[in-house]
Amino acid sequence: MDDWGTGGAIWISSGAVAQDAARKVPKHQVVFDYLHSNIKSGMYPEGDRLPSEAELGEIFHASRITVAKAVLELQRMNLVSRRPGAGPDWEAVWWDSSQDPTFVKRMLDAANPQGIVCANDGIAARAMQQLLALGRRIPEEIRVAGIDDVQYAHLLPVPLTTMHQNCPEIGVRAMETMLARLQHPELPIRDILVPARLIARRSCGAQLPV
């Protein structure tokens, strides 16, 4: 069984690719399954660089659009993030409990981040608690942001910067979409975007002198 690879960074079985082709699996799903399984298995540790879109396209004989579709799905699952200033390269997201002081310290020691964007305000609140317990000053040494704008966000030890979601509007749009789908099952899949609003508080350091 032959193996394909690029610079020794990633290796996949051509037999597995052929098997997926025989099952008529969409190519973006093949790319997604490969990356997803290897992130979950620890092949790509937290903060590690993933193969670029160009490298994945060469390995899977796929277009950049096809590869991007797979990677964007991983991004929606909060498993990868785009590295600022690095072009089309992606890195694995740190994924564990923000309540675990060992994990938080390991992340700080390995990545030394200037800021942390959490998947929701609850995670941000727990991360903030651990950071403060470790003696990190927020936002002077590290900045923290969340998503949701929960009622207690402004009551945390350091008021939390977050994205306010219009939950009533999300509920209305979801119900409208469900009813439309029941009446017209043939409708194509579509993305529905509900605007969010940035709530800048002290944790992001916006008030710090430049």
User: For residues 188 and 2, what is the distance between their CA atoms, to the nearest angstrom?
Assistant: 39
Which tens digit of pLDDT belongs to each residue from 159-184? 999 999 999 999 999 999 999 999 99
In the chain, the percentage of residues whose pLDDT exceeds 90 is 38
pTM exceeds 0.95, yes or no: no
CA distances from 47 to 10, 59, 109 (A): 16, 22, 12
Rounded to 5 degrees, what angle do the CA atoms 146, 39, 132 make? 35
Q: What are phi and psi of 139, to 5 degrees?
A: -100, 5
Architecture, CATH, for domain 101-204? 3-Layer(aba) Sandwich (3.40)
Pick the CATH number of 3-92 from 2.60.40.10, 3.40.50.300, 1.10.10.10, 1.10.150.530: 1.10.10.10
Q: Please check whether residue 204 is in contact with residue 140, taking contact to mean a CB–CB distance below 8 angstroms.
A: no
**pLDDT at residue 87, as a whole number:** 42
Which tens digit of pLDDT belongs to each residue from 1-22? 222 222 333 333 444 444 554 5
Q: Return the number of other C-beta atoms located less than 10 Å from residue 193's C-beta.
A: 6
